[in-house]
Amino acid sequence: MSGRQGGKAKPLKAPKKGPKDMDDDELDFKKKQMEEAKKLKEMAAKAAGKGPLTSGGIKSTWAAIPPVDTYVQNDSTRTASQSIPICQQEQSTNKSTMRALNNLLLLALCAVTALTQARSESEGVSAAVQSEYSKVQVHDPFHPQYAQNIKQRDIWHDHPMMAPKKKLVNLQKGAVKRTTTTKKKTTKKATTTTTKKNTAKKATTTTTKKNTTKKATTTTTKKKPTTTTKKSTTKATVYSTKKTTVKGAPAPSVTSKSTLKTSHSTSKTSTTKATTKTVTLNLATKTLSPDGVPKTMLIANDQLDFEIHVNKGDTLVAVVNNNLNVSTSIHWHGIFQIGSPWMDGPGMVTQCLIAPSKSMTYTFSVGSQTGTYWWHAHYASQYVDGIRGPFIIHDPTDPYLSRYDEEIIVSLSDNWHADAQTVLKGYVFAYDPAPDSGLINGMGRYNCSHLPKGSTCTPDSPRKVFEVKKGKRYRIRIINMSSQAMFKVSIDNHMMTVIEADGVNTNPTVVSSFEISSSQRYSVLVNAAADIGNYWFRATISDMYTVTGTTIENGVDFNVLGIWRYAGAPESDPEAEFISDKIPLDVYHLGELNGLTLAQVPDYSQSLYLDFTLLFDDASNNTFGVMTILSDETNFFFSEYFVPKTEPFLKTLLDGGELSHTNNVYDVGGNNWIFLQVRNSDNIEHVFHLHGHAFYIIGSGRQLHALPDAATLPRRDAIQVPKCVGGTGGGEAGCVKGYVNLMIHFNHPGAWLFHCHVDWHMAVGLSMTFVNRENLDSVRETIPKNFWDECQTH
């Protein structure tokens, strides 16, 4: 399928089974599960209150069975015959009507109990964790909300690949409104008042008393602050908070290389006075052995993954001293830069480069943003070699503050033994280079036997250890700083509750694992409720490198491991083997906490369709990206290698110059809502990141991802675009394209990069820039007069 299909939208229909409707088989299976579960529950309800049932002299009581609704997802791998001993015994052959009825009800008991026991045995989770399930699940065929989810699939647009101008949202709004009229009591949401100044604060809510989705923000209690203690720089740093003023992290220039532990104030009246935080980043080269193999890396302040901490509303002053022998620039990933678009950081887009032996000071307010972000070099693939680190914005009014005691920061990254420029030069095929190892907080392990004889390698290099205490509740902030790798994250024998994605608070969602693509961030809550011992913290690299033609033969172990160690446990590796996933994360149902529903999203003024792929040029012996944009009035073809520009786009914009689409630039025309569909013609997934904004996700995949009518939309700044399947892969080879449908509010001026965050793909052309010219005078008036002076050195 290629090009844009216009015409009037068809009436909404339920998805029909076909070779391209990848979700139908799964949908049919779940419907059957739901019907079977309904029958079993009806039988159980009839038997309730009738006392013990007898079959062959064996008694059992229904009261002993926990409700099936307690469990999130049915374990389809276990049958009823594998359940409990009573079900394995031969049933009575008495032909009386009463005895036959008892036997039938007993079989229903066995089936329901089997599901209950299978879940408890296979997951091995505590009762306390199980009690969390019933608050959040919406995907379980046994859960009452599941039926509503199925109904909502019928109202999703019948052609997800197309959205005629101003039809998609209107059509979906109408369908949603029709379904919500009969469910006023259960779907009543917080009334929403929106602000125009900041998309991060798009949904300021006034919660009604009858709101059934009201969160735990009103049940917080005060805690006594702990005292500040400091150990060596390799140990965890504990910082304190006061009852009425949360000072947050230590000065940004002081950071831990390991676990960050936080004691929180949970007073609802806590406030933080915005202050100016200053941090210095001294960039230099250093030989490190993150996985046991030495290599020259580019680092900040003599360490990997240097952390920066500020509070909501703070102004950050970051002095970057470039002690490298190459130019560089720093991007503050996920920060909107409202009122300071020149501080966004991508080289030759919003600024000139910082030359060797030169310095630059970044000054900007984080505004109302909070959550988990990161900073990294944004020029010549330098962050792949180590110029990167977490950037945390603490929120004294965090709605989940009462639900965790301490914080842990986890950075994930892929690792090459060669430097990034060498890897990029070798990228001459359409298949991506596989990494040599994966790192957790800068620590990994490589099998030295795969190196040539005489190579320097430390066998059994140390793994990252997370030291926790039984009974404590942890907020784990996970950041994927990889150039390419996607990780699947899990902790053996522990469940996780997702509460944040890309700096946006989400509805709490219990999972056993989740996938995190390059540039994305999640916060999860984990209760240290398991037996004292050692457990694997798993970050498994995805199978994207198993495509024929990749360099997977280098012997890399894709099972990247850390250790989740309880206080009092022996200092040894865990013995547990891998536990398969039971409750993976569905990112398309991970709605924003108190965010917008589909019906509340404004109409869009422009609709854009972005096709992309990677091709190999035999003439130049190189891979290059191809991007095509279709809009209401234009048809732009983007295709070029990474070519250094003579001056930044933003400077050209402010000087009144014109930017051509031949430079991969698209002018959004002002303060507008844009519908953007990104379509993947490549045979691997790509993750796209938008600078300066977050977008709403309203559809994705080759499947239909319908949302309950009362559900809030996911809002992110990075999204994975599913791969093209079928055909031969690459270009228009007869495959079914993957896609995502996004709604973006371009509400502040500047030049905003939109690019694939697989670094190799961006370097060869999968990148474009959205330009917003509205209110440029405000930028001209506030930008420092000497800001462009550094351009004279290039």
CA angle, 62 as apex, 99 and 78 as ends, to 5°? 95
Q: For residues 230 and 601, which has the higher predicted lDDT (pLDDT)?
A: 601
Q: For residues 739 and 693, which has the higher predicted lDDT (pLDDT)?
A: 693
Q: What is the pLDDT of residues 153-171, one digit of tens each?
A: 333 333 333 343 333 333 3
Output the pLDDT for position 673: 95
Output the pLDDT for position 791: 84
Q: What is the pLDDT averaged over residues 746-755?
A: 96
**Structure tokens of 473?**
């509740």
3-state DSSP assignment of residue 216: helix
CA distance 78 to 117: 10
Place 28 in a pLDDT band, splitting at 50, 70 and 90.
low
Does position 589 have pLDDT exceeding 90, yes or no?
A: no
User: How far is the CA of 158 from the CAs of 24, 362, 493, 600, in angstroms?
Assistant: 14, 47, 41, 21
Output the pLDDT for position 715: 96
Output the pLDDT for position 748: 96
3-state DSSP assignment of residue 205: strand
Percent of the chain as helix, strand, coil, to the nearest 5: 20, 30, 50
Q: What is the pLDDT of residues 255-267, one digit of tens each?
A: 333 333 433 333 3
Which of these, 517, 516, 500, lies nearest to 715 by C-alpha position?
500
Output the pLDDT for position 88: 41
Q: What is the pLDDT averaged over residues 423-437?
A: 75
Place 423 in a pLDDT band, splitting at 50, 70 and 90.
confident
Output the pLDDT for position 36: 53
Query: Of the segments 127-136, 531-540, 615-624, which one has the largest average pLDDT value?
Result: 531-540
Q: For residues 32 and 561, which has the higher predicted lDDT (pLDDT)?
A: 561
Output the pLDDT for position 155: 30
Residue 393 contacts residue 312 (beta carbons within 8 Å): yes
Q: What are phi and psi of 384, to 5 degrees?
A: -60, -30
Does position 185 have pLDDT exceeding 50, yes or no?
A: no
Q: What are phi and psi of 402, to 5 degrees?
A: -80, -5
Does position 306 have pLDDT exceeding 90, yes or no?
A: yes
CA distance 389 to 544: 25
Does position 78 have pLDDT exceeding 60, yes or no?
A: no
Least confident of 314-323, 355-364, 413-422: 413-422
Place 726 in a pLDDT band, splitting at 50, 70 and 90.
confident
Q: For residues 537 and 108, which has the higher predicted lDDT (pLDDT)?
A: 537
Does position 35 have pLDDT exceeding 70, yes or no?
A: no
Place 742 in a pLDDT band, splitting at 50, 70 and 90.
very high
Structural domains in the chain, sorted by start: 24-145 (no CATH), 237-585 (2.60.40.420), 598-793 (2.60.40.420)
Q: What is the pLDDT of residues 216-226, one digit of tens each?
A: 333 333 343 33
Q: What is the pLDDT of residues 324-374, one digit of tens each?
A: 999 999 999 999 999 999 999 999 999 999 999 999 999 999 999 999 999
Place 680 in a pLDDT band, splitting at 50, 70 and 90.
confident
Place 433 in a pLDDT band, splitting at 50, 70 and 90.
confident
3-state DSSP assignment of residue 656: coil
Mean pLDDT for all residues in the chain: 71
Q: What is the pLDDT of residues 701-723, one digit of tens each?
A: 755 455 556 689 999 999 999 88
Q: Provide CB contacts within 8 A for 518, sequence distance 6+.
A: 480, 481, 482, 483, 484, 485, 486, 687, 718, 757, 758, 759
Output the pLDDT for position 485: 92
Q: For residues 660 and 310, which has the higher predicted lDDT (pLDDT)?
A: 310
407-441 as b/e: b if 16+ CB within 10 A:
bbbbbbbbbbbebbeebbeebeebbbbbbbbbbbb
Output the pLDDT for position 246: 31
Residue 713 contacts residue 595 (beta carbons within 8 Å): yes
DSSP state of 757: S
> Starting from the edge strand earliest in sequence, which strands make up the sheet with 473-480, in order?
437-440, 406-415, 473-480, 521-527, 496-501, 504-511
pTM over cut 0.95: no
Output the pLDDT for position 182: 36
